[in-house]
Structure 1
Amino acid sequence: MKRDDGGAQWVLRLTIHGRRREMGLGSLLDVSLKEAREAADKWRASVRANVDPIKEREKQRREAAKKLHILQEIAEDAFESRKAELKGDGKAGRWFTPLELHILPKLGKVPVAEIDQTDIRDTLSPIWHAKAETARKALNRLAICIRHAAALGLDVDLQATEKARALLGQQRHKAENIPALPWAEVPAFYASLSDGTITHLALRLLILTGVRSGPLRFLRFDQIDGDIWTIPGEAQKGRKDKTPDFRVPLVPEALAIIEQAKPLARDGYLFPSVRKGVISDATMSRLMERREMAARPHGFRSSLRDWIAETTDTPYDVAETTLGHVVGGKVERAYRRTDFLEQRRKLLERWASHVTGGSGKLLRLVENG
């Protein structure tokens, strides 16, 4: 049959459910007479089986198209759909990072419907014991991606990650505490953070306040009122819907760091990254890695806690609240109306004095009801 564009194609005329239909079998240039005859015989057999060959071919094309969805695309779509559930809408990239670093380089271009437990085992086996926690996160993220693919109607093996876990075996690695710098060595490290860059300023404020790196990295101007920084409940670790806000007293040294950082701020964030979003955990960690330090940024919370225990008589509740830890049972917390703000302020002033090379005298704090 001649086409409007001057070309020609093979056409099979059929009667399907009492209706005359025409079914294209391909261009004369691309399909030989033998191939056209074989195709015609195949589709005539479908008619004899009371199956509409045109609808059947469309169904086969749709099934084939499903298999073309590669894991990279599915992972990105799954990430987009989950952003609202993640801290800061996932802008720091921590949810996606295990996939990006350890799964997608090997499986990113593979159709998700073709991925099985052997593929996953071979991908994760190099880090399954050496980087156990990272491997566990990567496997969990992959499981979420596969469930996302299933929700899209793709023919995937929902048990592939669990089968891979069985093939990989029990992890030998045991979780270890994040290495911390001894509190006596903190002043020298603090003094070395002197070039006024975002990374140096962020690390300085992290040390001074004892907060976790997440709230610090997402610190906004509107969270600061005078000398108090209020961390929203939803920004805290293990957050729940009713997690209360947490007030952090800002001592003069901390306020000075904030003033230095203001000219570098962007989009309301005090510590933006070079490209977009906010500074990442990795940025601060890499600075310490380059200096061949075993300690990591999160470890400064331990440095502060050890300093409190070894050089002050701070009551337990005040010390734990300084780190943002929940103290006491639900009933006890309901009757306790204080967050020890002023006691914590005095404690952090003494810590700042130590960190900046000042007095190391013993401090006695009295807990007030």
Structure 2
Amino acid sequence: MRARNRLSPAFVRNAPLGKHCDGAGLWFVKREDGGAQWFLRVTVHGRRREMGLGGFPEVSLAQARETADRWRAVAKAGRDPVKERERQAREAARADTTLKAVATEAFEARKAELKGDGKAGRWFSPLQLHVLPKLGGVPIDELDQRDIRDTLAPIWHTKAETARKALNRLGIVLRHGAAMGLDVDLQATEKAKALLGKSRHEAKNIPAMPWAEVPDFYASLSEPTPTHLALRLLILTGVRTGPLRHLRLDQIEGDVWTIPGEAMKGRRGQTPDFRVALSAEALRVIDAARPFERDGFLFANTRKGVISDMTLSRHMERRGLEARPHGFRSSLRDWLAEATDAPHEVAEAMLAHVTDSSVVRAYRRTDFLEQRRVLAERWASHVTGGAGRVVKLAGAG
């Protein structure tokens, strides 16, 4: 039988660099960076296995010997200690029913439904920032409405939209816990909402520019810069800022710009590609922006990636305008309602809004592209100052 307990606590504290054997496969390693760790070597079915037992001084000599004895017994019984430890870790993970563990599992299960697999973090962040720091360690089957109320009360009136999202996500997590077979209170979020009361916060719409004022603003965007050109195209197309900022030239074919479904607002896999009818003026703006193209993106940042949302907003803010870029969608929608006879479903299609029931949409095969093409030209005519007058881009053509 090999000698054991060769090392002493004093030696371990002052050990020189290198590997030092305590006996029976237990080794102490002192690294060049000053750190140290324990590992155990055993033989199972003729195969040598090594497993780490932790670092020193977190794991003392006595603790390392005790742990080594436990895993030697596993090896003696003919089981691989490395795989056995992995199995125990998996079982422990399954047994973890804290809110944090279940919330993480619920998020993973829903990633396929989220835009970009949820990498932006918007689905999980309300929980991560405002719920899990206080309740993450609470077993989900012990969570009640008072816990939720006390956690969300500080932001219920000051950050109402964030609190609403956190409550919504929490409800989804509770349902996921119930699906796991845990005894959770599925009404806890509704009860908490009743305890919190009505929020004093009033939701505010993004300020929009009246459609009659858009031509003057459009005419002021006379510089051939990415910011001016992006704002022009934003106004002309009525799209959201995200797809516009990430516009790639290979998405344009003729006078149609196809926005991939994953770039549209909605759940991944449930949002189809969206075709944008480009007016002659929009095509002129795109041509003027081509010199700024980099890596396929039409509105590239001077350093890396694409221009930011804040770049467009700050331009309007510096001009002393209350309106913001996203508000041009409202400008277009109001113009469609007040200055055209466009049918409701066509007007809504201009903004990629979903209308009617899922059954009706399933049978309707058109996206009203031809009707939208006519409206896009009429809107461009209005924006550029009236029929027959097109604002010429500085430096273009």
TM-score, reference length from structure 1? 0.60
Distance 1:333 1:164 in 2: 37
Instruction: Please name the residue that 1:210 is paired with.
Output: 238
Assess if the C-alpha contact under 8 Å between 2:219 and 2:384 holds in 1: yes
Instruction: Please name the residue that 1:141 is paired with.
Output: 169
Could you tell me which runs of 5 or more consecutive residues in structure 1 were left unpaired when the two chains were aligned. Answer: 10-25, 31-57, 362-369
Distance 1:145 1:308 in 2: 41
Instruction: Please name the residue that 1:367 is paired with.
Output: none
Instruction: Please name the residue that 1:112 is paired with.
Output: 137
- Note the C-alpha offset of 1:249: 1.3
Assess if the C-alpha contact under 8 Å between 1:92 and 1:280 holds in 2: no
Instruction: Please name the residue that 2:130 is paired with.
Output: 103
Cα separation, partners in 2 of 1:308 and 1:150, compared to 1, 3 Å: closer
Asked if 1:171 corresponds to 2:181, the answer is no
Instruction: Please name the residue that 2:157 is paired with.
Output: 129
Distance 1:151 1:6 in 2: 52
- Note the C-alpha offset of 1:209: 0.7
For 1:139, what is the secondary structure of its paired residue? helix
- Counterpart of 1:350, as a letter, is R
For 1:255, what is the secondary structure of its paired residue? helix
More moved, 166-175 vs 265-274? 265-274
- Note the C-alpha offset of 1:302: 1.9
- Note the C-alpha offset of 1:348: 1.6
- Note the C-alpha offset of 1:92: 4.8
Instruction: Please name the residue that 1:88 is paired with.
Output: 116
Instruction: Please name the residue that 2:251 is paired with.
Output: 223
Cα separation, partners in 2 of 1:327 and 1:283, compared to 1, 3 Å: same
Task: Note the 1:187-266 alignment, pairs <5 A.
Answer: 187-193=215-221, 198-233=226-261, 235-238=263-266, 245-262=273-290, 264-265=292-293
- Note the C-alpha offset of 1:184: 1.6
- Counterpart of 1:5, as a letter, is L
Distance 1:89 1:347 in 2: 35
Asked if 1:321 corresponds to 2:329, the answer is no
Q: Deviations over 1:231-252 (max 9, x none)?
A: 3455544569676543211123
Cα separation, partners in 2 of 1:111 and 1:315, compared to 1, 3 Å: closer
Distance 1:193 1:123 in 2: 47
Assess if the C-alpha contact under 8 Å between 1:272 and 1:279 holds in 2: yes
- Counterpart of 1:227, as a letter, is D
Distance 1:290 1:358 in 2: 27
Cα separation, partners in 2 of 1:132 and 1:349, compared to 1, 3 Å: same
Could you tell me which runs of 5 or more consecutive residues in structure 2 were left unpaired when the two chains were aligned. Answer: 13-58, 64-87, 390-397
Cα separation, partners in 2 of 1:86 and 1:357, compared to 1, 3 Å: same
Instruction: Please name the residue that 1:5 is paired with.
Output: 7
Q: Which among 209, 222, 245 is matched to residue 181 of structure 1?
A: 209
- Counterpart of 1:7, as a letter, is P
Assess if the C-alpha contact under 8 Å between 2:115 and 2:263 holds in 1: yes
- Counterpart of 2:233, as a letter, is L
Distance 2:187 2:345 in 1: 46
More moved, 202-211 vs 146-155? 146-155
Assess if the C-alpha contact under 8 Å between 2:115 and 2:266 holds in 1: no
Distance 1:113 1:214 in 2: 38
- Counterpart of 1:171, as a letter, is S
Asked if 1:352 corresponds to 2:380, the answer is yes
- Counterpart of 1:228, as a letter, is V
Distance 1:134 1:329 in 2: 29
Q: When the two structures are aligned, how many residues end up with a matched partner?
A: 310
Cα separation, partners in 2 of 1:227 and 1:136, compared to 1, 3 Å: same
- Note the C-alpha offset of 1:303: 0.8
- Counterpart of 2:375, as a letter, is L
Q: Deviations over 1:314-357 (max 9, x none)?
A: 45454333233456678887887654434422322232233233
Distance 1:155 1:177 in 2: 40
Superposition RMSD in Å: 5.1
Instruction: Please name the residue that 1:17 is paired with.
Output: none
Distance 1:296 1:326 in 2: 23
Cα separation, partners in 2 of 1:269 and 1:136, compared to 1, 3 Å: farther
Cα separation, partners in 2 of 1:290 and 1:317, compared to 1, 3 Å: same
Cα separation, partners in 2 of 1:203 and 1:153, compared to 1, 3 Å: farther
TM-score, reference length from structure 2? 0.56
Cα separation, partners in 2 of 1:272 and 1:5, compared to 1, 3 Å: farther
Q: Deviations over 1:126-185 (max 9, x none)?
A: 432344333211333355567789999999988765554343223355655443210122
Distance 1:292 1:83 in 2: 40
Task: Note the 1:232-311 alignment, pairs <5 A.
Answer: 232-233=260-261, 235-238=263-266, 245-262=273-290, 264-265=292-293, 268-271=296-299, 284-285=312-313, 287-288=315-316, 293-311=321-339
For 1:180, what is the secondary structure of its paired residue? coil
